[in-house]
Amino acid sequence: MRHFRSLTWRRGIVRFRWRFSGTEIMATVTRHLIDRGDGALVELFQAEAPTSQNGAILFVHGFQQGLLLGGREAVDNGALLRFSSRFNVTAAAISQPGFGASDGPADFCGPITQQAISAAVEFIKHHPPIDPSRFVLLGNSRGAVASAMVATKLSDLRALILMSGVYDLGAAYQTSSSGIRQAIEMEAGLSEKAFEDRSALHHACKIRAETLILHGKHDNRAPFEQAERLAAALEMEGTAVTLRSFECGHRIPPEQRAPVLRDFLERVFAAKPIYH
């Protein structure tokens, strides 16, 4: 099966044409600039397939070298359209503060980033109306750090997917490369509160959403041990959690993670909500 894609930008709207085995599928990606809650703007991209139902998934990107595209990355690589059409839901991607067109500054997954994600979640729930019990938050790398913290504040989140994240920033800082340490120092600072505000492991009791953790066993940026510790903490709290490991480094190959994500999301979007 071959896919062909074309896209055009028109006043904040991206129109996609995909061809699957001779069948053309149309979908629209809209670009929004929403208020973070403090007057600053957050860039959000949102995909709607013709048959979209009232579920949603929000992507939170990791660190991006070079262009710092933010959520636009998920538009350009087709992820938003694929997930929207595959699961018949709204698929959205946020640009973290300091990335894309979102106002900064970047604060290394801290309160400002978490506030931006929360604002995006609230926007998606109402444009169009979304069933909160069918809302999934997916974060990768830095996005996983921030998403895990946001999940501690969302009691009605259906599911949380974390890929290649750090969940005890203070511990990770001690073994990180000089480049990562410098980024933490510049964006977050080294106070006890700075680490606490970015360490979901310290707040695991507040995460009630079913959680899928994906992590490479040979990750030299986010130690695999961090994923193991978070999974154990969630399990101890009675939260449904699955840890899937891969024989890779920080970047999990798409062909390896895709079937895991597909099986999880098919079940989550099809199932009735689980209440804790």
Q: What is the pLDDT of residues 171-230, one digit of tens each?
A: 999 999 999 999 999 999 999 999 999 999 999 999 999 999 999 999 999 999 999 999
Q: What is the pLDDT of residues 9-27, one digit of tens each?
A: 334 555 554 444 444 555 6
The CATH number for 41's domain is 3.40.50.1820
Residues of the domain holding 161: 31-270
Determine, yes or no, domain membership for 112. yes
Determine, yes or no, domain membership for 24. no
Determine, yes or no, domain membership for 72. yes
pLDDT band at 133 (very low <50, low <70, confident <90, very high): confident
* pLDDT for the residue numbered 54: 85
Determine, yes or no, domain membership for 5. no
Please spell the DSSP secondary structure of 31-63, one letter per residue. Answer: EEEEE-SSS-EEEEEEEE-TT--S-EEEEE---
Determine, yes or no, domain membership for 89. yes
* pLDDT for the residue numbered 271: 63
Determine, yes or no, domain membership for 264. yes
pTM for this model (two decimals): 0.90
Query: Going by C-beta distance under 8 Å and a sequence separation of 6 or more, which residues neighbour residue 85?
Result: 18, 25, 27, 49, 51
Name the residue with tokens 């890779």.
248
* pLDDT for the residue numbered 132: 81
Determine, yes or no, domain membership for 9. no
* pLDDT for the residue numbered 275: 42
pLDDT band at 53 (very low <50, low <70, confident <90, very high): confident
* pLDDT for the residue numbered 20: 41
Determine, yes or no, domain membership for 10. no
Provide the domain count of the chain: 1
